Structure 1
């Protein structure tokens, strides 16, 4: 078993060797700077583990039943989280995260110790009876135990652990502990290659697939929680504050993306008129936030007269609903194998939508369903022309769920279709399997810095240039979509 204290000492020593000033670090060659960043990340992960364990200790000594004699209350705080936030200068969310993960680790350690002690006392010669006892003891270990063990082992950060814990949720009538254990085992196999945000999205979608029947209820709650407050301040200015459900919120985002996209690295325009508009938007002296404010006023002013096909010279805002063949079968009433209710999602939003919402939006928008073959690849609708069709881009949006580059969270609407085989030099047919989505900055980076994307069946790989990695070690590019 790893010794956390020894690991932290070694990690701290490795960081100290980097230097003690900005000048020392600035003098490091690129390779050493990258290696140094990894050392710092390792040390921070171990220190965060200590912070979580200490937070759990403080929370245990501040239990509500202890009243004013609890540790936090003695220090003048109403909760252990408030004490931790005050002493560390962190956010409320960070304090709650440390307590939650630390408590999970402490509970797991205690449960593992009880099981180990109980197993050591088994002395019956009956193997079957021993197996029953072992199973009974093992059942006492919380299903989240593998998360805690991974943090202790240093293979999972505290941030990622909290993302998994929050994303998978708790046991209820529809989602048993065994189902959560299976989902967790699958998630932990890839968690080390994902950041905390990506891990949360994967975990949240796994939970949605385990509890598809609850999607409609959560969807209704999100809709009921919507609000928009408009009020006047004492200085005469007017402030807006609102919250929208995913369906309406994505339309709002799409509207402002269509207006300010050129300011934030949006898709390149081929059409001369739209390219000229994009250039004008880039050169606009106003800030992006000021453009948003002015545009909202203009939208409200001309709402009844504006051309519904255009918004200030840009593209019409559009929200695409992504559905699988399973959802379309449910929508048309065609018979299919017995399985949980189908669901879909709004492009760019990780929250699923119910079958009822799919039916309504398909009726309103005529959204196209996307079919998959038996190995999970979208059925090819290749063509002999250079550009991908809108249908192909929609299909890639379902498959890739946005820019495929490592760590990028740009949605399909902010991504461009990239031929992994060059059109002229590599016989680059415009087929789905040979196209991936990349946001504009990463698309430029790939071409300008000579990165390369390749494919083996349904798996895509990123090959760095020799200048970055003499071995040109392939980097996996898994889809950011789960279950669709």
Structure 2
């Protein structure tokens, strides 16, 4: 990347001034502050300086975008150029470019307040978003009045409060209560739709018995999850347990018990992530599945030999293809949302002849002891995802019997009923089936 290309549009003297600021910071004394007043004054000044520098940075980003520095450097866009220049995350660089261009395209009051250190970049982002969401039909004077009102408000409140004010920004130009309410409703519904569209859940097996994951959820759904996990983790229950332990350790007075409880809290301060993780595990293991349309399809089926279960020794098998200890399977067998398929245990009628059109939950559980995956040759989709196919079509007189059930993933089940494909079902000596497909000529 050419430094000349990167800097040719920077206003004269900018680099020199920034270099002087950098050198001045080297002279900054370090050490303990004298008191709260000194700390408050220093923090306020530090925030103001940081904000003003951020304003300079955003103005440079806007200038770089106007000058098409990225194309001169062979980059795909200003965001990619910025990420490369600053060694920052690409998504954050893209957000910076969007804010910089928004400030450079009509948000004069916001840009000036940011440059003066009167509002933060978080406030500026809220104002940029709120003004972009304004309804059509507003003239330039009204838009300027709304921006000015939001900047004035930003000097008094935090970004979260300002965000709520921004949804009702039409009040600043004396629009009717109905119009203000309608706009707020539209903004919220759009935000909710976009949040749902962004929902993601990914996970990765680490190979050491753990799985790591990442989720993006609408804030409401995340709030429900967090509140539930915190309830299960129960800080109040933790306090009660700590107080009980303190008394057992010899605390004789309420003050001693309180001190011991507080010590336990401080000792556990760095361990709350683990406590929340354990609470999340407990929550998942107790999810109710009795109202789902297909209970076993969404429930873990644990297969274990009866003798191993009694002895809590050996390994159990899940219909997701994983193994776990028999003792863990024994614990899970007590929980809701877990279907234990105990080999050698009490039998369940599984051959239903022509009386039933669809395979039952008991039949699905039974097949989980035989199959790990879809029965199609070469398919590795787990059995838990499968649909039960009649080897002899029920519509042609076939029976809904266990021996005629073939677990197929959705893709291969559709192919089994696709007239463009021919398939053959092979059954081995243990009754396990394999389906082979070929395209009809």
Question: Shorter-chain-normalised TM-score: which range?
Answer: 0.3 to 0.5
Highest CA radius of gyration, 1 or 2? 2
Q: TM-score, normalised by structure 2?
A: 0.45
Q: Which has the bigger relative contact order, CA under 8 A and spacing at least 6?
A: 1
Q: TM-score, normalised by structure 1?
A: 0.41
